[in-house]
């Protein structure tokens, strides 16, 4: 009698699962899937209910559907003088006809693969476009042989390098069938946590999500099933537990208690030709209380462009300098560092504050002298770029670190600067309004202050979105403003011509515009220019030696020219909302009425049109940020892969905000009740936290 075949273990290498093998195992490994358990955590991105067959006649706008239909024809549509084309695929079934439009080509040869009268599966959102139902960029797949017998609720997985959703489904079901009950690990969540938050066990959640029950179809289709709740909670919880541990550790550090009399701060306030807003005073008060406390301050000050964050930071710096310590202010670009230095010279130098500026272009002799002065305590406030974190830069007594545009610096860079002093206070500024949900994840270890009020006298910016047909009108309007003595920006998404994208580019358009408007003094700036070249152009523009600056998004942050009152963004549909808001913030910085003109190109998708038109409705950076997060997701929103966010498979920061809050509350409550995580019920949580971050104690969480 044959011996019983040993059951599969969760920690078994995935290549040993029947149907995988070394080659497929290598592909899985590239995607971070090494064990059988890793494979089970590859969750479906959606479900298709194939029990009730859909036909074209039954479709309604805004539905996400799956249907089988024949291709009748593929029609390329030329867009006038532009080289660009829209592709229209006509589908039919027994009940009717529907069109699928593509405003860009997914990849070369994509449309050649469709054979007339062949049947395909079409998956996508039905859109009412100019009074007609159609698909925009649907997912079109060849019908698979096994599909005919799957008249069920089907989990859909993200495909990878020719590994179809159906193949992934079969492998996962095989794994679930082979793993015996005895091989499932202990539940890591304490019983009281699961009861309080209404969580089902992990094993049950994995079975439920991969082998969906038709009775739960609606909840599964809406990603609101008990399985989704458990798995989404878990994704949020591990990140929030890490942030709670980090914040708990920061609160244990013994910081510098800044007990200045506030004399410098009062002298600054008296010297200003204006009064601070209520929001600035509130934030300054929160910072002041932190500085007096026994633990290092770790505070984020966020506010819109021009809301006065820098002044709040300077007030904090004065308190620290008055107490006998030094301050470092790190900015992401030389332009922004130099701008902070000029502001400090104007506002702080009259109070006797000794300033220094250190950037990549500082000469060796200047750098040497500056470092010596810093070590001797002869510089109170050092402003610079990432050059501040280099080894030779040593402070005599660093008491406060101010970081501008925090998300542009990595965790390691921030930690290096922190090591320049003994537990210095940390103040982070950002002009990118961060939605509350994102602040709870990216900046969850920081206390947050919001400057939600603009100083009086700032000129409101009128925003208008228009198509290519209105382009001449927009540039003529800009020329009229130039004739009145104003200045303007024109921004393009690309530096040079691209074979892949039919978009205007800065270099070519700069030459065309010079020929079209010879009376205007034009300047060009883009990211491929050397740093000193960019600075020269920017300084000349600031001195009004140029009327219009043609640029890419290198002007997005930190450029301050009060005389500039017109911003034209070409191909505005190609930019994210927060990026458009940052660009818009380059104007409206003076007393002149300001305008932002968003020009859309040919063949703009419905989403691109909606995003650009939204900018007309508000100048509130937080509303813009919320909409941007909703439309693009956190990774794109931030412009960088932030630690923790890249790991979300199911969790959505907009849709699942209530679960996020629940997970955050649960994680922070654990540290409130058990700061060392020593209790028996938290032992498994502690072990998993240590394993995930490669540490052996809570002190290892930087």
pLDDT digits over 123-163, tens only? 888 888 888 999 998 888 887 654 544 557 888 888 787 78
Q: What is the pLDDT of residues 536-554, one digit of tens each?
A: 898 899 999 999 999 988 7
Query: Which residues, 6 or more positions from 494, have their beta carbon under 8 angstroms from its beta carbon?
Result: 501, 503, 504, 505, 506, 552
Q: What is the pLDDT of residues 398-438, one digit of tens each?
A: 999 999 875 555 556 666 777 787 788 989 888 777 777 77
Q: What's the per-residue H, E or C state across 536-592?
A: HHHHHHHCCCCCEEEECHHHCCCCCCCCEEEEEEECHHHCCHHHHHHHHCCCCCCCC
Q: What is the pLDDT of residues 460-477, one digit of tens each?
A: 799 999 988 899 999 999
Confidence of residue 640 (pLDDT cuts 50, 70, 90): very low
Rounded to an integer, the average pLDDT of 527-534 is: 80
Q: What is the pLDDT of residues 246-286, one digit of tens each?
A: 888 766 666 677 877 789 999 999 998 888 999 999 999 99
Which segments of 419-489 does DSSP mark as H helices, in order?
Answer: 436-442, 471-483
Mean pLDDT of the chain: 84
pLDDT at 194: 95
140/142 Cα distance (integer angstroms)? 7
Kindly report the number of other CB atoms within 10 A of residue 121's CB atom: 18
| Residue 205 pLDDT > 90 | yes
More confident residue, 441 or 353: 353
More confident residue, 639 or 692: 692
| Residue 6 pLDDT > 80 | no
| Residue 82 pLDDT > 60 | no
Backbone angles phi, psi at 598, to 5 degrees: -100, 110
Distances (CA, A) of 617 to 163, 464, 588, 627: 44, 9, 17, 12
**Would you say 9 and 36 are in contact if contact means Cβ atoms under 8 Å apart?**
yes
**pTM of the shown model:** 0.67
Burial (CB count within 10 angstroms: exposed 0-12, middle 13-18, buried 19+), residue 433: buried
Ramachandran assignment for 246, one of left (phi > 0), alpha (psi -120 to 50 degrees), beta (any other): alpha
Q: For the chain, which domains are there? A: 52-150 (2.40.50.140), 263-451 (3.40.50.300), 461-618 (3.40.50.300)
């Amino acid at each position: 009698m044959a011996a019983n075949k040993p059951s599969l273990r969760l920690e078994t290498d995935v290549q040993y699962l029947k149907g995988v093998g070394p080659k497929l195992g290598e592909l899985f490994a590239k995607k971070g899937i090494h064990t059988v358990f890793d494979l089970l955590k590859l969750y479906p991105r959606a479900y298709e209910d194939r029990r009730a067959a859909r036909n074209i006649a039954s479709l309604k706008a805004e539905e996400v559907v799956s249907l089988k239909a024949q291709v009748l024809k593929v029609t390329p549509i030329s867009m006038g003088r532009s080289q660009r084309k829209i592709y229209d695929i006509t589908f039919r079934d027994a009940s009717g006809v529907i069109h699928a439009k593509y405003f860009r080509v997914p990849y070369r040869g994509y449309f050649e693969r469709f054979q007339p009268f062949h049947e395909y599966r079409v998956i996508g959102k039905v859109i009412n476009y100019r009074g007609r139902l159609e698909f925009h960029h649907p997912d079109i797949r060849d019908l698979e042989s096994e599909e005919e017998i799957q008249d069920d609720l089907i989990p859909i997985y993200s495909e990878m390098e020719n590994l179809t959703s159906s193949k992934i489904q079969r492998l996962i079901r095989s794994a679930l069938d082979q793993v015996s009950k005895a091989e499932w690990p202990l539940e890591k969540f304490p019983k009281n946590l699961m009861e309080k938050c209404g969580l089902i066990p992990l094993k049950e959640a994995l079975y439920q999500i991969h082998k969906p029950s038709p009775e739960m179809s609606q909840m599964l289709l809406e990603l609101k099933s008990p399985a989704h709740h458990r798995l989404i909670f878990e994704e949020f919880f591990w990140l929030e537990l890490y942030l709670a541990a980090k914040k708990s550790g920061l609160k244990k550090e013994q910081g510098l208690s800044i007990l200045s009399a506030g004399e410098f701060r009062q002298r600054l306030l008296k010297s200003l030709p204006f009064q601070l807003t209520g929001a600035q005073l509130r934030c300054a008060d929160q910072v002041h209380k932190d500085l007096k406390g026994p633990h290092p301050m770790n505070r984020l000050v966020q506010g819109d462009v021009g809301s006065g964050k820098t002044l709040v930071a300077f007030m904090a710096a004065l308190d620290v300098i008055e107490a006998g310590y030094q301050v470092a202010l790190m900015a992401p670009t030389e332009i922004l560092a130099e701008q902070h230095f000029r502001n400090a010279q104007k506002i702080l130098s009259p109070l006797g504050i000794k300033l220094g500026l250190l950037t990549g272009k500082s000469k060796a002799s200047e750098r040497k002298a500056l470092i010596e002065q810093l070590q001797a305590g002869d510089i109170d406030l050092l402003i610079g770029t990432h050059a501040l974190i280099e080894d030779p830069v040593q402070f005599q007594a660093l008491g406060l670190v101010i970081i501008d545009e925090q998300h542009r610096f990595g965790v390691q860079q921030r930690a290096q600067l922190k090591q320049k002093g003994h537990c210095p206070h940390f103040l982070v500024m950002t002009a990118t309004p961060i939605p509350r949900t994102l602040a709870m994840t990216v900046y969850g270890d920081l206390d947050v202050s919001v400057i939600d009020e603009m100083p009086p006298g700032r000129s409101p910016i009128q925003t208008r979105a228009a198509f290519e047909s209105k382009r001449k009108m927009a540039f003529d309007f800009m020329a009229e403003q130039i004739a009145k003595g104003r200045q303007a920006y024109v921004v393009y998404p690309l530096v040079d011509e691209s074979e892949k994208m039919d978009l205007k580019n800065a270099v070519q358009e700069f030459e065309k515009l010079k020929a079209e408007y010879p009376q205007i003094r034009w300047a060009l700036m883009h990211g491929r220019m050397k740093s000193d070249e960019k600075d020269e152009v920017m300084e000349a523009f600031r001195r009004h030696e140029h009327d219009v600056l043609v640029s890419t998004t290198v002007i997005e942050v930190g450029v301050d020219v009060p005389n500039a009152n017109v911003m034209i963004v070409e191909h505005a549909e190609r930019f994210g909302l927060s990026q458009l808001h940052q660009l818009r913030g380059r104007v409206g910085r003076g007393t002149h009425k300001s305008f932002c003109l968003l020009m859309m190109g040919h063949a703009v998708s419905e989403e691109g049109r909606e995003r650009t038109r939204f900018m007309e409705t508000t100048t509130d950076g937080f509303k813009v940020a919320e909409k941007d997060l909703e439309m693009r997701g956190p990774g794109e929103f931030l412009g960088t892969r932030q630690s923790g966010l890249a790991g979300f498979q199911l969790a959505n920061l907009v849709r699942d905000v209530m679960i996020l809050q629940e997970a955050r509350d649960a994680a922070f409550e654990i540290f409130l009740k058990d700061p060392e995580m020593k209790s028996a019920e938290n032992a498994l949580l502690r072990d998993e936290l240590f394993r995930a971050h490669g540490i052996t104690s809570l002190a290892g969480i930087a």
